[in-house]
């Protein structure tokens, strides 16, 4: 098992593909790599969702619609393999 469970290019493509199968208007706005976390800013159904990925694989999600943020988080967790 790798120590760092972050999105690389391959996992990002897999995440976007799965998300677009569910939401046709899904788009990644920005990816910010910090020292201890990776931030993903996405837009789904006209709403922004912020995802924070920690090195141990923990994912947190924030958005105006909590249900949508939770659904995007679950898709990301499945791609990362940390369900």
Q: What is the CATH number of the domain that holds 63?
A: 3.30.310
Quote the crossing angle between the two packed helices 9-22 and 66-80, to the nearest 10°. Answer: 140
Identify whether 45 is part of a domain.
yes
The reported pLDDT for the residue numbered 82 is 81
The reported pLDDT for the residue numbered 4 is 64
- Euclidean distance between CA atoms 48 and 5, whole angstroms: 23
Number of domains in the chain: 1
Identify whether 31 is part of a domain.
yes
Residue range(s) defining the domain that contains residue 34: 9-80
> What is the chain's pLDDT, residue by residue, as a tens digit (83 residues)?
456 677 888 999 999 999 999 999 999 999 999 988 999 999 999 999 999 999 888 999 999 999 999 999 999 999 988 86
Identify whether 41 is part of a domain.
yes
How far is residue 24 CA from its own chain's centroid? Answer: 16
Identify whether 22 is part of a domain.
yes
The reported pLDDT for the residue numbered 8 is 87
Identify whether 18 is part of a domain.
yes
């Amino acid at each position: 098992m790798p120590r760092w469970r972050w999105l690389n290019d391959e996992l990002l493509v897999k995440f976007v593909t799965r998300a677009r199968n569910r939401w046709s208007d899904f788009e990644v706005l920005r990816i910010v790599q910090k020292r201890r976390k990776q931030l993903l800013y996405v837009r789904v159904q006209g709403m922004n969702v912020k995802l924070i990925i920690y090195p141990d694989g923990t994912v947190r999600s924030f958005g105006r619609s909590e249900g949508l943020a939770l659904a995007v988080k679950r898709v990301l967790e499945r791609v990362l393999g940390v369900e």
